[in-house]
Every structure is written in C-alpha cells, then in structure tokens.
Amino acid sequence: MKCRMCGFEFDETKLENRGCSSCGKHGCNSIHCPNCGFANSPELNEEFKFIVKLKDKIKNRKSFLN
C-alpha cells in the first residue's frame, strides 16, 4: 500500500494491529502508515480507483465526440 499522505510504500499485511498504535482508536478499519501515522482507508482506495476509471471513460468519450 502507498500512503496517501506521505507516499511511503509498505506492506499492510505485515503491520501489527493494522498500525493502530498510531491513532489510539483500536478497532478502526483504517491502515495507519508506519512512517507518518496517517489513517489510510482501504475502502477509499477502491472508491478512488473507480472514480479514476470513470473520469477516464468520460474523458475518452468527450475526445471521441469532438
């Protein structure tokens, strides 16, 4: 996973408690970056990928129509 805040790449499967020692809210669904402590949401990553694909489709359609 790549942290959306600092860009640090890490293997989220090797973090203890999903890195939750960084925020103190144990049991949250976020994966905390071991570098900066930012709470990265796996669900948000999936939504972001969907939005990027959707934007690309719209952009390609507009260029096709022009």
> What are the pLDDT digits (tens) for 14-53?
887 665 655 566 666 788 899 998 888 877 766 777 888 8
Give the residue among 13, 39, 43 at the shortest CA–CA distance from 28. 39
Q: What is the reported pLDDT for 10?
A: 93
Q: What is the reported pLDDT for 19?
A: 55
Q: Tell me how far CA of residue 60 lies from CA of 40, 49, 54, 57, 66, in angstroms.
A: 30, 17, 10, 5, 10
The answer to whether the predicted template modeling score (pTM) of the entire model surpasses 0.85 is: no
Our CA angle for 9, 32, 16, nearest 5°, is 95
- C-beta separation of 9 from 23 below 8 A: no
Q: Parse the chain into domains and list their residue ranges.
A: 12-65
Q: What is the reported pLDDT for 22?
A: 52
Q: What is the reported pLDDT for 18?
A: 63
Q: What is the reported pLDDT for 41?
A: 82
What Rg value do the Cα atoms of the chain yield, rounded? 16
